[in-house]
Structure formats: structure tokens, C-alpha cells
Structure 1
Amino acid sequence: MSSTASELGGLEAVTASDAALRRFLNGLPGVDAVGLQARAAGLGTRSVKTTAKAYAIDLAISMIDLTTLEGADTPGKVRALCAKGVAPDPTDRSVPRVAAICVYPDLVATAREALAGSGVAVASVATAFPSGRAARAVKLADVRAAVAAGADEVDMVIDRGAFLSGRVMEVFEEIAEVRAACGAAHLKVILENGELGTFDAIRRASWLAMLAGADFIKTSTGKVAVNATPANTLLMLEAVRDFRAATGRQVGVKPAGGIRTTKDALKYLVLVNETAGEDWLDPAWFRLGASSLLNDLLMQRQKLATGRYSGPDYVTVD
């Protein structure tokens, strides 16, 4: 997918020049921060009960990008994570598999082999993750290496320094070049909301990424102090909803970082349903970037089924 004129539904003129792009982004409606946070908090109080909760837990499991992005990652750890993603509870085959396993580029081939035939996608971070501080040629080489090794999805980070300096066309062009380098692989564009400073900046960055061809927009790397929050995810859900209304093209959303409990996950599913709508309640359009969330979902699922929690050995320690 690329940001061709046909995909922009009449918005192609806004990317024709730096001045036009600046004018469009700066002309987006300002964000009512108090109202946004109040709406996110209000939706977070919605309760999900019994059969609806069981459905929502399975849906959340199927949306997880099960992630390991540590300097100490090993092929053995990745293979174990892949096995868990394919069969989260080996004693209960009714538990759905996760959406993807997300790793560094040098471990993509290991994940690809371990997941062969499973239906679980291989996702790779790229473009000098998490800082994004590298020459564009290096970033593009990073992407091509990940795709050549078998990545189905690429999670790139935007150049926050360029964005915050007002060099929006530079950011647009880099995303578009990464999109091209991805080929058939899907592109998730990480905004790193915690470093953008304001809700207005998050809205502009969301639209910039979508105009440049993002298949998903993602809140964060999980490596900074502020990662996914209900408010910044709500704002991005509004952006993808409005982008589809303007262009006809649907873009996914991925909150990542800090989503650890079933209660957290269900709050995000309520946000999706109430903001973007049911069309986004699908792993093709909404993901949860997480490493520890799956264990809590499995424990809550088991509690619903049996009325009690299992012992500490019920789930594996990642």
C-alpha cells in the first residue's frame, strides 16, 4: 500500500509541496485536551461482563503483538515466545493464537522458521528503533534486511527531531520511502507520543503518517516514560476514523507499552468500539503491543471458565 493519489481520495494536493503539507497539518482542528481526557476516562468506566467478557478476552488475545525487544534476546527466547504465541495455553486449544511475534531484525529469520504454517505473523522493528537516529540509507537497509529475512510487518519509528523542528515533508518522504521498501509487508508507523509533547502534535503526526502510506499508526516504542494511554489512543482512533471518511482508506491502530492487565485491554477495546467502530474490532485493524499482557488474559480466561485462579505455574514466565 502506498500514498498514491487514488488512495488519498482527493487529498493528494496536500502532499504536493512542503508548504501545502504544513498548511494542511496546521489546519487540522485543535484538540480539546480536557474533553479528550474526560471522554477517555468515561469510556474506561464501562464494564464488560460474563459472555461479553469471555468474547472480549479472546478477541484481545488474538490482537496481541507478543513482543521481545531486549538487548539480551536470544534465538532460544524467540522460539519459546513463538511457541507461546501459537498455543498460548497448551492445555486448552480453544485459546486463540496471537496476531504476531515482534522482534529485532536479526531475529526475524528465527521467528519465521518457528512460526511456519501457524498463521501468526512475524513483525520486526526497524529504522534504528527505538531512537530513529540514523541516516535514511541505514534505516532503509534495516527495513530491507527485515523484509528479506521474512518479516510480514515492519514497525518503524518516525524522526521525532525532524517532526518537532517542523520538517514535516522530510518525515513524510522518509515514511513513504520505508513504505516502498516494505513491499508486501505491512507498515506500522510509531509516533512515540510521549515525545511529541501535545495532543495537537499527535493528531498532526497521525495524519502525516497516514498520508505517507502507513497501514497502522502506533502510539509508542514502549521504551520511554509515557507510552500508550487511553487518551492518546482515543485521539489516534479519531484520526483513523476521520481519515477513512476523507479518503476511503482504512488504517489500523496499535497502542503499545504499559498495557499489562485484562482490565487495561478491555478498556482499549471499548475505546475502539465507541470511537472508530466495529470495523476496527479485528486483528487486521487493531493490535495491542505487549509482553506481559497475555499471561493476565490467560489467567482471567481460566477464572471465567472455572471460577478460580490457577496456581503460579499456570502460565509461563516470559
Structure 2
Amino acid sequence: MESQIAEHTAQLPQVGEPRNPGMELDLDWALGVEANTSAIERRCATLPGRRSVKKDYQAAWLLKAITLIDLTTLSGDDTAGRVRRLCAKARQPVRADLLKALDMGPITTGAVCVYHDMIETAVSALDGSGIPVAAVSTGFPGGLSPFHLRLAEIEESVKAGAKEIDIVISRRHVLSGNWQALYDEMKAFREACGDAHVKAILATGELGTLRNVARASLICMMAGADFIKTSTGKESVNATLPVSLVMIRAIRDYHERTGYRVGYKPAGGISKAKDALVYLSLMKDELGDRWLQPDLFRFGASSLLGDIERQLEHHVTGAYSAGYRHALA
């Protein structure tokens, strides 16, 4: 089993890749992008039935999925105790007896994602683990606070120890077609992050069309985004396969044109192990194995880990366990 998992430990984004430096805004390229909605939906509808893994192979893919999770808590009632428990789960996401039965060494999640106020707690709890702390920023989830405060929030989160910053774009720039404003905003966010890596949350459920999603994806990458991310998890519609396909193909186009690899993070609504397998197969089909590593792919999730652990226990014992046996925090 161990030989089927290429990476066991968390990585910072792009540690094995040159960081995307961005490029000059190319509106001819961005505005030339279209999205054939019916074709995209047909492609996505067939994916779950066309790609299926079973038995040991499924267990190996699920273990891989764990290493790609940004284990997240973004609730108004977050406490230091909850964050410390979540960090303990990130350090050991699967019970030791299950890993032993699967002939696996230690693994960790890809990162822990929290609000700014919980960064120092998370950094302390993860000390020595190699697991980075990601912080949501720029007036998350609405992104409607004053611009200078959004920049200051990024800077404070980096100062507090966050190695990854998940920013939210201003959706109005996309909906009004003000692509220069979106580019300038994203570029300023990237600069404020310094050495910390930036994930651009598009809030795709609020962008109206798949064409807008494709164009916003390209603009954010042109402005230097290290990752593009679907959602805050707070919208009425979060990560979907059609949106993912559009964003993944934008990443592929950007890589083909510039030579730089940008990461992808679907977030919100991915709570079942079977859903994680579908997303992994989509990434493998569209971008290849290189994008199945923590530096280029993450799941934004919390309950997903619990369901994966239940599926792994079923693989080992033949019986499903109660959810409380795999508590997160």
C-alpha cells in the first residue's frame, strides 16, 4: 500500500515548482475564452461512471486524498480548543491501527485553514509537523471591506505565521466586466502576501456563468495567483464538477502558454469519499499526475476527512463504523 502513495507529508504550495510570477494583463486572451455549457455538463455527468477504483486501489486513492485536504474550521464559534483539536487531527488524520493494517506510514493533511484570530493558536499546535497554516483573508467571505483594510489583513496574517493566504476577489468586478480592476486587485493581494502563497477564491456560485468563471480564472493567474479556488464554502452553490472542469482547463491553458503550473482547490460541499475520488480522477484526466500532489491540489473540507476514515475502516474490517469513532475536533 505504501508504494502506491507518492507523498506522505504536507508541502507548501509550489515548493517543487517555480512560483507563478504572473504576466501582463492580456485581455485579448481572457475575453476570447468561451464556455460550452452543455458540452461541459455532459462531460462531467459521465465522469463518475467512467472512472471507478475498488479495493486496495480505492484505499490508496483515499489515503492520497487525505494528504490533499486543507482541514478547515471557519465558524463564528471557533475556540482555541477546537483549533488545537483540529490541528491534532491534521497531524494524525487516520487512526494508527488503520494505518498499520493498511501497511502505511504516517501521513498528514495538506494544511489547516482558519480565520486570522486563530493563526497563532494553529501555528503553535502544528509546530514541528511541517503542516502549513492557511488563513482566509480580505474580508472573507464577502470581500467588501475597505481595500486598504483587506491589504492590512493579509499583512497581519502573514506576520502572525500564515504560510498560505486564501483571498476573496470582488465579484462585482467580474459581473460588471471590469477586468482591469480585478487584475489590479489580485496583483495587490499577491504583493501583500510576500513569500506566503496566495489562493484566489472566485466564489464561482456568484459569478453567473461558466464563461465568467473561465475569464476570472485566467485574470487571477495573470495577476500572480498561486492557486485558484472555487468557493468560500459560504455561498448557496459551492464546488461543482462543471465549474471545476472550466477552472482546470484554464489552468492547463495558462501552463501551456506560460510554462507555470498553478494549483487548484475545490471547496465547499465536498463531504463524501466518493466525491473526492471523482475530483481526483478529473484532475488526473485533465492535468495529469503532477497535479495530484499537495503543492498543486487541495480540497477545502472538514467533514470529508471523517467519511474517508470510515471508508478506510470498512476496507480493513468489512464493517462501517459510527461517525463518532472518527471525530475531527
Asked whether the two chains share a fold, i.e. TM above 0.5, the reply is yes
Indicate conservation of the 8 Å contact 2:255/2:261, yes or no: yes
Separation of aligned partners in 2, 1:184 and 1:276: 26
Structure 1 position 36 matched with structure 2 position 40? yes
Residue 163 of structure 2: aligned partner: 152
Using the alignment, how far apart are the partners of 2:195 and 2:269 within structure 1?
A: 30
Pairs aligned (count): 305
Q: Tell me the alpha carbon deviations over residues 83-104 of structure 1, each in whole angstroms, 9 at most, x when there is no partner.
A: 0111113434545210010000
Aligned partner of residue 119 in structure 1, secondary structure: coil
* Cα distance in 1, alignment partners of residues 277 and 80 from structure 2: 32
Unaligned runs of 5+ residues in structure 1 are 16-20
Residue 300 of structure 2 corresponds to residue 289 of structure 1 = yes
- Secondary structure of the residue aligned to 2:109 is coil
Please give the alpha-carbon distance, in whole angstroms, between the structure 2 residues aligned to 1:134 and 1:167: 19
1:25–1:216 CA distance, 2 compared to 1 (3 A)? same
Structure 2: runs of 5 or more not aligned: 1-17, 100-104
1:223 aligns with 2:234: yes
* 8 Å Cα contact 1:58-1:95 kept in structure 2: no
Q: Is the 8 A contact 1:3 1:176 kept in 2?
A: no
- Map of 1:48 onto structure 2: 53
Give the C-alpha shift of residue 117 in structure 1. 0.8
The one-letter code of the counterpart of 2:66 is I
Question: Once the 2 structures are TM-superposed, how far is the Cα of residue 173 of structure 1 from its aligned partner?
Answer: 1.0
Counterpart selection for 1:63 from 68, 75, 87: 68
Paired residue for 2:114, among 90, 103, 111?
103
The answer for the alignment partner of 1:203 in structure 2 is 214
Q: CA deviation at 1:51?
A: 2.1
After superposition, the C-alpha distances for 1:182-235 in whole angstroms (9 at most, x for unaligned) are 111110000000000101000000000100000000000000111000111111
Matched, 1:244 2:255: yes
Out of 41-50 and 185-194, give the one that drifted further. 41-50
Aligned residues with identical type, % of pairs: 45
* 1:128 alignment partner, one of 129, 139, 144: 139
Aligned to 1:305: 316
| Cα deviation, residue 3, structure 1 | 6.3
Deviation at 1:159, TM superposition (A): 0.4
Instruction: Assess if the C-alpha contact under 8 Å between 2:20 and 2:260 holds in 1.
Output: no
Secondary structure, aligned partner of 1:314: helix
**What's the counterpart of residue 264 of structure 2?**
253
Pairing partner for 1:262 from 258, 267, 273: 273
Structure 1 contact 2–212 (Cα < 8 Å) conserved: no
Q: Give, in angstroms, the shift of residue 177 of structure 1.
A: 1.0
Distance 1:23 1:245 in 2: 17
DSSP-derived class of the 1:44 partner: helix
What is the alpha-carbon distance in structure 2 between the residues aligned to residue 275 and residue 111 of structure 1? 34
> Any idea what the Cα deviations from partners look like across 1:134-157, whole Å, max 9, x if unmatched?
121010001001100000100000
The aligned counterpart of 1:26 is 31
* Counterpart contact for 2:202–2:228, Cα < 8 Å: yes
CA distance in 1 between partners of 2:149 and 2:275 (Å): 36
C-alpha RMSD of matched pairs (Å) = 1.5
2:93 to 88, 92, 98: 88
Give how far 1:163 is off: 2.1
SS of match in other structure, 1:127: coil
Paired AA for residue 233 in structure 1? S
What CA distance in whole angstroms lies between the structure 1 residues aligned with 2:224 and 2:323? 44
Number of the residue aligned with 2:5: none
Deviation of 1:309 (Å)? 2.0
SS in 2 for 1:313: helix
The answer as to 2:282 corresponding to 1:271 is: yes
Cα deviation for residue 238 of structure 1 reads 0.8
What residue is the counterpart of 1:18 in the other structure? none
Q: 1:3 to 1:96 in 2, by over 3 A?
A: closer
